Each structure stands twice: as C-alpha cells, then as structure tokens.
Amino acid sequence: MMTRPFSALPPRFVRAMRCLPTLTLIAALPSVARAQFGVDKTELFLNPSVSAERTGILTVRNEGSERAQATISIEDWDRAESGTNRFYDAGTLPQSCAQALRVFPRTLSLAAGETQSIRVELDSVAGGTAAGRECWSLVLVESAVPQAGPNGRTLLYRLRTGVKVYAAPAGLTMDGQVADVAMHAAARDSSNAKDTVEVAFQNTGTKHVVGRGRVEVRRPDNTTVAVVELPPAYALPGATMRVRAALPALAAGRYGVLAVVDYGGTEIAAAQLEHEVR
C-alpha cells in the first residue's frame, strides 16, 4: 500500500454492460419487423440495510416499430481475470442474489414506443446480505426477433439486455492490491507491435470496486520517461482482473516500472518491477 498522492484519477464509475445476442436457426416463420427492448439502467444498486432502498425500478421501452413480447429472468454472473463477463444459471454462485430477488412482471407485451416499469425487490433475509457480504445477479430482458434468411428459412435472434444488480449492506470495505506486474515482449514477426505491461489488480475488500490506474516508467535516477494509462479494472470482492497497456519504445537501459491503481478507497495500490531494454 501507499499513501494517497494519486488524486488526478477520474471519479469511480461502473461501465455499462449489455449481453450479446445469440443466434438460432429455426423453421420458416412469418416475417416480422425487428423489435428491440431498451432498458433505462445498466446497473441497479440495492441496500438490504435500509428498507427504502431494497426496491429498484427498471423502465423498459419497445424501441421497434411493432408490438413485441419480452420475458424477464434472473441469472448469475461474474468476471474472468481478463474482464470477460461469464453467465450461469440462477443460484449457481455462492455470491448470488437470485434467491433473494423478486421481479415483477415476468412478461411484457408492448406496442411500438410503449414503456413499462419492472419492479426489482430484495428480500434481505433470504439473501443473507445483512451479515456483511455483497451479492450480485443479473436481470435479463429477452426477446426473440425472427428475420428472413436464405433458402426459405428464418434466423431467430434472441436479444438479451442485462442489468447487473448489486446488493450491498452498510459497512462493506473497499480495499485492493496490485498482485502482479509483468512485461510481455512484442512479437518478433511484427514491426508495429510494442512491448506491453500487464497489471493484476486484486480486490481484497468486501465491496465491488473499479480500479483506475497508470504505469510510470522511470530511469534509475527516478526521472520519469513515460506515463501510460491502464484500462479500468472491474473487480468483484475476492476477484482479480488483469489489464494490459502498450509501452512506448524505450532506449536501451534499465528502468523501473511502477503500477499505481486507485480503486476509490482511502489508499492506493502500487507495485514495481525492474525492466531492462537491450
């Protein structure tokens, strides 16, 4: 850990997430206009410690040109160390909120341009979140959109828009560390490739955080050669996320590579390694 001199970082934020559509080939169906349901939020934050904050509202809008139907469901999710979202059946993960979430309604039928509210309610007792842990799940709005395809068949697009739901009781901690810093040499068969630095940020607290950081390349006399911004590191409690950034071309010599990550806590996380350019 280091004291907190790194104040130039932008405010903490959470990136929007939208599930990618899947594709299914089915028998011929009547041709219909494309419909898509938009949701006014990408994340929903509930607090089991406060009764007034255990319920959230999502507003769904039919952005297509025809009446369309959608189903509402709940799944589990987490992230790989690469940052890729992974999806599971509801109740699969130990940190799941699925057993504690109540969603109403579960089906929608909206005319073009019409909106409807979805109520997402947390049962704090069923979720067990009052004991000091955070849980998270995903509310999915899913619709099927047939489109005419070749050979008289129809492609059925299943469009799934996901809203991440976090339930965080009071008193959770924000803490983290840079677990590893590694250098990766550019590919020899590519003239445009650059060396990259990989930083592993680990969330050691009890609340999900977004780490934003940078890498400073310094000479042996501690003068700065370059500063490279890192992509955001989204880390659930106990999880590690690895982010990479390309380094500028460096003259031959020895350097110190310092990785600094601000995750919104009272301290920042940092780690350093030595790097030699031959």
pLDDT tens track for 147-200: 777 777 888 888 899 999 999 988 899 999 999 999 988 766 656 668 899 999
> Which DSSP category does 120 fall into?
E
The residues pairing with 217 across neighbouring beta strands, listed in sequence order, are: 226, 257
pTM to 2 decimal places:
0.79
Q: Any idea what the Cα angle at residue 154 is, between residues 153 and 158, rounded to 5°?
A: 150
Residue identified by tokens 């969603």 is 103
Q: Where in the chain is the domain with CATH 2.60.40.10?
A: 22-167, 176-277
Residues of the chain with pLDDT under 70: 1-35, 124-131, 187-193
Q: Which CATH superfamily is domain 22-167 in?
A: Immunoglobulins (2.60.40.10)
The third-level CATH classification (topology) of the domain covering 176-277 is: Immunoglobulin-like (2.60.40)
Alpha-carbon separation of residue 246 from 49, 227, 272, 275 (angstroms) = 43, 11, 17, 14
Q: pLDDT tens for residues 55-79?
A: 999 999 999 888 999 999 999 999 9
